[in-house]
Structure 1
């Protein structure tokens, strides 16, 4: 059995690789995104499509930063909750 603290220390803990949204719509939305990007690739000039890809990449980076901050906030809140519960016993 893996030791969580050791995995964390050695950088082996990759939570982002184990995230699999459970909503049924998730795969469908990703398929729609892929289809739309293919449509844009065939309709736009190369420069316009490159600009669109740059926009999508920036949105992805922004979303990743937001998700990271939300994770940190949730983790801290969970930690505070545990401390509060344990302090009452």
Structure 2
């Protein structure tokens, strides 16, 4: 198995393509969205439906940028937590100076 860093360097990591939400509300909401889209496709004129699709595409773009920012923020937060933990690790490991031996 390749390392994560090697896969990242080679452009082989694409988590956004394989993530499927497991929240119990995801699939019912997704089906509801599809049903509403089909309803509007039938009820609206072609021009109005194209405008609705443009609006939907803009919403998806905005949401994607927000998700990307949340991912980056979460990753940085997690990395900083690890740095903080590793920086304080000597406080967690007993040593002879403290009068404690392993």
* TM-score with structure 1 setting the length: 0.96
Q: How do residues 67-86 of structure 1 correspond to structure 2 at under 5 angstroms?
A: 67-86=67-86
Runs of 4+ with deviation above 3 angstroms: none
Partner of 2:6: 6
Structure in which a larger fraction of residues adopt helix = 1
Deviation at residue 7 of structure 1 after TM alignment: 0.4
**Relative contact order (alpha carbons < 8 A, sep ≥ 6): 1 or 2 greater?**
1
TM-score by length of 2: 0.85
Deviation at 1:18, TM superposition (A): 2.5
Structure 1: unaligned runs, 5 residues or longer: none
RMSD over aligned Cα, in angstroms? 0.7
Q: Tell me the matched-pair count.
A: 89
